[in-house]
Amino acid sequence: RRTCLPAPSPDISNINLWNILRNNIGKDLSKVSMPVELNEPLNTLQHLCEELEYSELLDKAAETDDPYERMVLIAAFAVSGYASTYYRAGSKPFNPVLGETYECIREDKGFRFFAEQVSHHPPISACHCESKKFVFCLSDIRWKNKFWGKSMEILPVGAVNVTIPKYDDHYEWNKVTTCIHNILSGRRWIEHYGEITIRNKKSSAYICKLTFIKGNYWSSKVNEIQGFVMDQEGKVVHCLFGMWHEGLYCGVGPSAKCIWRPGSMPTDYELYYGFSRFAIELNELDPVMKDLLPPTDARFRPDQRHKYLEEGNIEAAAAEKQRIEELQRIRKRHIDENNIAYHARFFTRKVVDGNQREVWVTNDTYWELRKDPGFSKLENPTLW
């Protein structure tokens, strides 16, 4: 696998963000088209895959008989998904177009993952990942972006789901708010704050609460996490603490045990969008894989990857981004004017929690179609 991107990230010092954002204070920025220089050469579907960078925590949980210790490992996995954002405040992922897909097969990690953009407005991405030890899915995740002048908040809606078949466990938890500070001037930095509650839907015997502490002028607790694993009477079984970009510990004081810490960053990561080693590999396209992927896969998207942004050709990337966005608007107009019911290709809607919530779950066709007859022999939508 590759260890470096083809070209460094562009200089964005000449972009006047205020001119772009001043008319959108308090609005949903998912509907605002941004200059391509503000993007990184990955999209939201690939970001969902980044949640699995430390999937070995789930593997370990699948071999841990004690349910409370298992919950500690699930908590560490929930925290680990935020680590890759620490150096990524300078750019944003591409918004997937409706019907865009992404797959990731990692024999070294023992999982296979696929994702699809299932809704345009509101923008909804769905993903499903499976291995011999766990199943991971984000079935109703969407984001609301709000610009507040000096900062931008990203408010997630929906839940993360992990099942561990060996113990018949089904864990579910929410995501916390993300805030990007110093949008217009100064050094941008990312903060996550709020509370995560992890429940095992199989049993109410144990629960985990994690608090991502919001920094303020009077406290140095930026990026800190505090949490507990409790039994159904509320008795604390395990204490958790740490920092979402440095590691999570279980126990009290110096005797606490490190459950997880992020891997080292690659050389010159500051010049390459702040990508981790795992992120660098996500957009890689080798000749063997090229013939197996559907043409809707994000790796074929020209503005994001081929000879454009990832390769450092900014002007061509900007032109392609505009062309692809216009194609999506034309498709959307055609769907609306003809009252066509859009159906996602690899996911289907499902009502859960007593008809209180609608989620997207896999329809179990992706890997079968990939294998037989193969996407090259099927009719595929033209997205770019």
**Alpha-carbon torsion, ordered 17, 22, 180, 150, to 10 deg:** 110
Alpha-carbon span 218 to 211, nearest angstrom: 18
Domains with residue ranges and CATH for the chain: 17-300 (2.40.160.120)
Which positions ≥6 away from 113 have C-beta within 8 Å? 49, 52, 102, 103, 104, 105, 106, 127, 128, 129, 136
pTM: 0.92
Please report where in the chains the tokens 């020209």 appear, as a residue.
302
Three-class DSSP category at 145: strand
| 27-36, 167-176, 374-383: range with lowest mean pLDDT | 27-36
How big is the CA angle at 283 (ends 282 and 289), to the nearest 5 degrees?
Answer: 95
| Mean pLDDT score, 72-88 | 97
| 8-12, 43-47, 241-245, 275-279: range with lowest mean pLDDT | 8-12
How high is the pLDDT of residue 47? 95
Q: Are 119 and 44 within 8 A, CB to CB?
A: no
Query: Confidence class of residue 31 from pLDDT cuts 50, 70 and 90?
Result: low
Distances (CA, A) of 108 to 53, 158, 265: 12, 29, 19
Cβ-in-10-Å burial (0-12, 13-18, 19+) of 30 comes to middle
How high is the pLDDT of residue 307? 59
| 21-35, 39-53, 155-169, 200-214: range with lowest mean pLDDT | 21-35
**Helix, strand, coil shares, percent, the chain, to 5:** 25, 35, 40
Alpha-carbon span 319 to 269, nearest angstrom: 27
| Mean pLDDT score, 84-95 | 91
pLDDT tens by residue, 279-322: 999 999 888 888 899 999 999 999 987 557 888 888 889 899 99
| 69-78, 121-130, 243-252: range with lowest mean pLDDT | 121-130
Report which secondary-structure segment, H or E, holds 289. Answer: helix 287-290
pLDDT tens by residue, 242-252: 999 999 999 99
Alpha-carbon span 147 to 149, nearest angstrom: 6
* Pairing mode, strands 92-94 and 39-43: parallel
Which positions ≥6 away from 103 have C-beta within 8 Å? 112, 113, 114, 115, 293, 297, 366, 370
Q: Are 70 and 169 within 8 A, CB to CB?
A: yes
Task: Say whether pLDDT at 36 is over 70.
Answer: yes
Beta strands in the chain (DSSP E): 39-43, 92-94, 101-106, 111-119, 124-131, 135-147, 151-157, 160-164, 169-173, 177-181, 189-200, 203-212, 224-231, 236-243, 247-250, 257-260, 347-352, 357-362
Taking the alpha carbons at both ends of the chain, their separation in whole angstroms is 27
% of the chain surpassing 70 pLDDT: 93
pLDDT tens by residue, 144-179: 877 777 888 888 888 999 999 999 999 999 999 999
| Mean pLDDT score, 254-277 | 95
Alpha-carbon span 190 to 11, nearest angstrom: 20
| Mean pLDDT score, 47-71 | 97
